[in-house]
Amino acid sequence: MISRRRFLQAGGMGALGSALTARAPQAAAQAPANAKGQKRRGHVPVRTLNGWSLPHVMKDGVKEFHLVAEEFEHEFAPGTVSKCWGYNGTTPGPTIEAVEGDRIRILVTNRLGEHTTIHWHGIILPSGMDGVGGVSQPHIQPGETFAYEFTLKQHGTHMYHPHADEMVQMAAGMMGMFIIHPKEPEPVPVDRDYCFLLHNWAMHPGTYRPDPAVMVEFDLWTFNSKVFPAIDPIVARSGERVRVRMGNLSMWNHPIHMHGVQFHVTGSDGGRWPQSQWRSEATEIVAVGQTRDIEFTAVPGDWAFHCHMAHHTMNAMGHEIPNPMGVDQTGVADEIQKMLPGFMPMGRYGMAEHQDHVDAGHHPGPRNTLAMMVGKGPYGNIEMGGMFTLVKVRDDLAPGDYSDPGWYKAPQGTVAWKVSGDPDYGNPPRRG
């Protein structure tokens, strides 16, 4: 472990400035697409949805990173901003990328009002570097900087988060991804490598800070602290092999479902599994505290990618409200509007009309609160939110191009079409 004197002599505090000036969007991956399944030298840099990777400096053969725990203003999507906690100005914090066998040093500066630590989730290291406050190290007090130093003995998809006042600090957004690339080229290389964290937030309607006391009834469900449609799409060229790394530091398990392909589950925080252990799925549960890697060959189209718990693909909702489905509310609105101007009944035939009312300005919600269902596509309302994004695959996308290609133009005859507007059309069989 680096001594205090050696740290100061090496200009350790200067690393803080270099890390903080690197808050620019991450660059596109430099490695070209595979050709005929050949092994690629090195690795493809990870693309963090709505995020970035933390730069490092080399000091005496050690890769040195610098994290700063601090409070800042975070936007979940246009319309909802919150005071969150995280690292280097973002939640989740920047992704740390290194290579198996690297000697790394991570400086952690605490700019919070209370003490903290960092636990390197799933990483093999000395006990005193494990980051459990009071057990394996003293707490990092406000204003202090600690150094963690160890050699990476594994590869895989990992995470980092506090192990001090954990419920509060994680509820406020303190977490990040830690990707360790294998030292040797992978037998089945990938062309694009994505990662993101699953998390939940108690952002009660009309409020401006997450509530750390909530255990179950969360209001926002996020990929990398963003809700749809603010979540970046996963972009690829047709035929490319894509890996998506997912970590779960929320308080729920999430069945992540991808449309359009059967992917292979290929790894976890235990590293990339032997190919004999890969399994084909369309939905994979990422449990609390776990990471999972999935890989697939990109197929042209716009494909939904989301948690399959339906309320996790919606934004702020009211809990324990009356169920009006099937209730004729004719005349009710006039009476209630006399006492509550702006009241609008909805829900007799379902909630699909919610987005129309909100978009038209007929149903304004509380301040700093996102609508429950949002997003528009080429064919109308998408009616989603929360843990939902799109995998956008195009034939003509250049290798290394991560820009949003817009909406997919489906070939003629490949879109479902209207046959009739008559509810009595045809003679469908019915049991009984």
Superfamily of domain 24-310: Cupredoxins -  blue copper proteins (2.60.40.420)
Residue, of 241 and 355, whose pLDDT is higher: 241
Query: 246 and 258 in contact (C-beta within 8 Å)?
Result: no
SS3 annotation, 172-207: CCCCEEEEEECCCCCCCCCCEEEEEEEEEECCCCCC
Residue 84: pLDDT band with limits 50, 70, 90: very high
Residue, of 68 and 382, whose pLDDT is higher: 68
- Domain definitions of the chain by residue range: 24-310
Does the pLDDT at position 192 exceed 70? yes
- 307 three-class SS: strand
Residues 73-101 have a mean pLDDT of 96
> Which residues are bridge partners to 297 per DSSP?
241
- Lowest mean pLDDT across 180-184, 280-284, 369-373, 411-415: 369-373
Does the pLDDT at position 60 exceed 80? yes
Residue, of 97 and 357, whose pLDDT is higher: 97
Residues 31-50 have a mean pLDDT of 66
Residue 281 vs residues 35, 108, 239, 254, 285: alpha-carbon distances, Å: 26, 39, 19, 15, 10
CA angle 134, 138, 143 (to 5 degrees): 130
**pLDDT given at position 83:** 96
**pLDDT given at position 265:** 98
> Which residues are bridge partners to 242 per DSSP?
192, 296
Query: 296 and 258 in contact (C-beta within 8 Å)?
Result: yes
Does the pLDDT at position 247 exceed 60? yes
**pLDDT given at position 34:** 46
Does the pLDDT at position 167 exceed 80? yes
CA angle 211, 251, 153 (to 5 degrees): 120
For residue 29, give every residue at least 6 positions away whose Cβ sits within 8 Å of its Cβ, in sequence order, or none. Answer: 44, 45, 47, 192, 193, 400, 402
**pLDDT given at position 305:** 97
Residue 37: pLDDT band with limits 50, 70, 90: very low
108-133 pLDDT per residue, tens:
999 999 999 999 999 999 999 999 99
293-306 pLDDT per residue, tens:
999 999 999 999 99
- 347 three-class SS: coil
**pLDDT given at position 370:** 77
Share of the chain above pLDDT 70, in %: 82
Does the pLDDT at position 361 exceed 70? no
Amino acid at residue number 169: Q
Buried b (16+ CB within 10 A) or exposed e, 36-49: eeeebeebbbbbbb
> How would DSSP label each residue in 136-152?
TB--B-TT-EEEEEEE-
The per-residue pLDDT of the chain, averaged, comes to: 86
Q: CA-to-CA distance for 244 and 380, rounded, in angstroms?
A: 28
